[in-house]
Amino acid sequence: MDVTVRDGLRFVQLTPPGSPTSIALGTGLADMRPGCVQGMQLVVSDIHAARAALAERGVDVSEVQEFDWGSFVFFSDPDGNGWAVQQLPARA
C-alpha cells in the first residue's frame, strides 16, 4: 500500500509474501531523523535465501553470522537505518 493522506503525510506498507506482518514507513509519521533507527529485525525461515535475495537486489548485506540464538545478516537501508534479518535456531 502506498497512500498520500495529505501533503507531508504518506504511508507505505510493505508485506513480504506469505507474511502476517507488515512494515510501515513513510513521510510525516514520526519526528525521527533518517538513519537514526538501528536494530530493526525481521525473522525469515531461510537466512541464506534471504541474504541471496538482498544481495541480488544490490543491497550491501553482511555474510551469514551464526550464533546460538539464530543466524543473522545485517544491512543498512539507503537512509542509514540498521536492519537485522534472523533465522531462528531449530527447536528440539
Tens of pLDDT, residue by residue over 49-84, are 999 999 999 999 999 999 989 999 999 999 999 999
Look at the pTM and tell me if it is higher than 0.85: no
Q: What is the mean pLDDT of residues 12-26?
A: 84
- What range does the domain containing 67 cover? 38-92
In this structure, the answer to whether residues 54 and 89 fall within a common structural domain is: yes
In this structure, the answer to whether residues 47 and 88 fall within a common structural domain is: yes
Number of domains present in the structure of the chain: 2
The grid coordinates of residue 90 equal 531449530
DSSP for 22-81, please give it.
-EEEEESS--PPTT----EEEEES-HHHHHHHHHHTT---PPPEEETTEEEEEEE-TT--
∠ CA 75-47-18, nearest 5°, is 100
Count other C-beta atoms under 10 Å from residue 91's C-beta: 4
24 DSSP β-pair partners: 13
In this structure, the answer to whether residues 50 and 76 fall within a common structural domain is: yes
In this structure, the answer to whether residues 23 and 66 fall within a common structural domain is: no
